């Protein structure tokens, strides 16, 4: 599906935090300090000279002839003019320091006002994107997802958690209305009613946007840790969802239904999948390191070819499934791991599944301690 046009990213220059003048607060402060140092230096030279005399002879022109006799010649008008110019220089220096300080204060105030205006613009974009998710029109909801995604990527420090919260809340609200299995029971029986052909497009795009934001924001781990935030989509009907190559690490999916889902090379590391259902799902080359699989339900039609790091084993995994999970060394390249898995875990039948799919990236999403 082609992305709908995202909101205009060009921002009004009056809201970007840049004042009208190119004389920044830092420049004003540096100039003031520099001029102040000059003034203090001149004052120090005057004070340090203990032999200053305020006479015409002292400030006149002194010359020494060949006989070593010092002659003094002074022009009162010239001396007066020089003193007056010196006085003007001191006054000008003081004015320059004062002007530099005023410029610093004005620039700092301008930056604060611009930051306030910028925050108002961010809040406005956030509110508009969130309201679009409530529309009855699919295209409008999709546009809202794209708008929120772009907002989180453009200013993650302010909007990362806000956007992820509203997107995951959007998915939860629309998938928790019906969490009953299509066949009504947790067994291998074929459901009587045929399932839907695909997962809802707007919800699929919302999940894709959450994964995309977490991958693209460089400080995502730190932001989530400081906010104590985790991906939570619990007791949700995610039947037929496509989670291929999605970053879902540290997520909480307790009680959610992944029936008939297609999950290729995803990252479920450290996820809570307690009581989750994978009836008829296809899960291939997915990382479940540290995941909790207590009471996970599968069927005879479920393909569950997963792997884990040997130093972060999944929890509460049935013994028969545990034996078929290849364990990867922390620094082992993906290609070497696949070849070793094919040899050391022949019962897992990895050769059939993994060699048909593109390799997963070794740039894993770092685990949050």
- C-alpha angle with apex 323: 291 to 181, nearest 5 degrees? 55
Give residue 247's pLDDT. 93
Give the list of residues 6+ apart from residue 170 with CB closer than 8 angstroms, or none. Answer: 133, 145, 203, 206
CA-based diameter of the chain, in Å?
Answer: 127
- How far apart, in whole angstroms, are the C-alpha atoms of residue 206 and residue 282? 21
| Stated pTM of the model | 0.64
| Phi and psi, residue 307, nearest 5° | -145, 170
- How far apart, in whole angstroms, are the C-alpha atoms of residue 163 and residue 155? 11
Cα 257 to its chain centre, rounded Å, is 30
- How far apart, in whole angstroms, are the C-alpha atoms of residue 142 and residue 132? 8
Give residue 42's pLDDT. 61
Nearest residue to 208 (alpha-carbon basis) of 243, 249, 156, 164: 243
Residue extents of the structural domains in the chain: 1-45+76-125, 133-354
Give residue 268's pLDDT. 95
- Digit-by-digit pLDDT tens for the chain (369 residues) are 334 444 444 333 333 344 444 555 566 556 656 666 666 666 665 555 545 555 655 555 666 666 665 555 656 666 666 666 666 776 777 777 777 777 777 777 777 766 666 666 778 888 898 999 999 999 999 999 999 999 999 888 889 999 999 999 999 998 875 544 444 433 333 333 344 457 899 999 999 999 999 999 988 889 999 999 999 999 999 999 999 999 999 999 999 999 999 998 899 999 999 999 999 999 988 999 999 999 999 998 998 989 999 999 999 998 888 888 889 998 888 878 888 888 887 766 666 666 555 544 444 433 333
Give residue 252's pLDDT. 96
- How far apart, in whole angstroms, are the C-alpha atoms of residue 93 and residue 104? 17
Give residue 254's pLDDT. 94
Give residue 67's pLDDT. 61
- How far apart, in whole angstroms, are the C-alpha atoms of residue 163 and residue 350? 38
SS3 per residue for the chain: CCCCCCCCCCCCHHHCCCCCCCCCHHHHHHHHHHHHHHHHHHHHHHHHCCCCCCCCCCCCEEEECCCCCEEEECCHHHHHHHHHHHHHHHHHHHHHHHHHHHHHHHHHHHHHHHHHHHHHHHHHHHHHHHHHCCCCCHHHHHHHHHHHHHHHHHCHHHHHHHHHHHHHHHHHHHHCCCCCCCCCCCCCCCCCCCCCCCCCHHHHHHHHHHHHHHHHCCCHHHHHHHHCCCCECCCCECCCCECCCCECCCCECCCCECCCCEEECCECCCCECCCCEECCCEEEEEECCCCECCCCEECCCCEEEEEEECCCCCECCCHHHHCCCCEECCCCCHHHHHHHHHHHCHHHCHHHHHCCCCCCCCCCCCCCC
- How far apart, in whole angstroms, are the C-alpha atoms of residue 334 and residue 340? 10
């Amino acid at each position: 599906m082609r992305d709908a046009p995202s909101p205009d990213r060009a921002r009004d220059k009056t809201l970007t935090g840049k004042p009208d003048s190119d004389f920044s607060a830092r420049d004003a402060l540096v100039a003031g300090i520099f001029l102040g140092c000059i003034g203090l230096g001149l004052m120090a030279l005057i004070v340090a000279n203990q032999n200053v005399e305020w006479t015409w002879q002292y400030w006149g022109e002194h010359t020494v002839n060949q006989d070593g006799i010092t002659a003094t010649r002074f022009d009162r008008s010239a001396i007066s003019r020089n003193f007056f110019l010196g006085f003007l220089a001191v006054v000008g220096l003081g004015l320059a320091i004062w002007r530099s300080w005023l410029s610093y204060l004005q620039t700092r105030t301008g930056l604060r006002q611009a930051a306030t205006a910028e925050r108002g613009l961010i809040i406005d974009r956030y509110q508009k994107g969130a309201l679009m998710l409530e529309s009855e029109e699919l295209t409008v909801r999709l546009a809202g997802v794209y708008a929120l995604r772009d907002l989180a990527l453009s200013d993650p420090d302010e909007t990362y958690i806000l956007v992820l919260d509203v997107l995951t809340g959007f998915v939860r609200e629309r998938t928790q209305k019906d969490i009953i299995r299509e066949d009504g029971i947790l067994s291998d029986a074929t459901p009587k009613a045929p399932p839907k052909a695909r997962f809802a497009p707007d919800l699929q795009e919302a999940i894709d946007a959450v994964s995309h934001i977490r991958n693209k924001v460089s400080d995502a781990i730190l932001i989530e840790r400081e906010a104590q935030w985790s991906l939570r989509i619990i007791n949700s009907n995610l039947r037929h969802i496509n989670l291929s190559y999605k970053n879902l690490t540290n997520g909480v999916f307790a009680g959610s239904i992944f029936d008939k889902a297609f999950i290729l090379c995803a990252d479920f590391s450290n996820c809570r999948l307690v009581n989750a259902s994978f009836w008829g799902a296809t899960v291939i080359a997915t990382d479940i390191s540290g995941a909790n699989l207590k009471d996970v339900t599968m069927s005879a039609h479920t393909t569950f070819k997963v792997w884990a790091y040997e130093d972060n084993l999944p929890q509460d995994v049935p013994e028969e499934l545990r034996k078929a999970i290849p364990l990867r060394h922390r620094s082992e390249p993906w290609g070497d791991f696949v070849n070793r898995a094919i040899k050391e875990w022949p019962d897992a039948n990895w050769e059939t599944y993994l060699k048909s799919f593109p390799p997963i990236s070794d740039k894993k999403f770092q685990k949050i301690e």
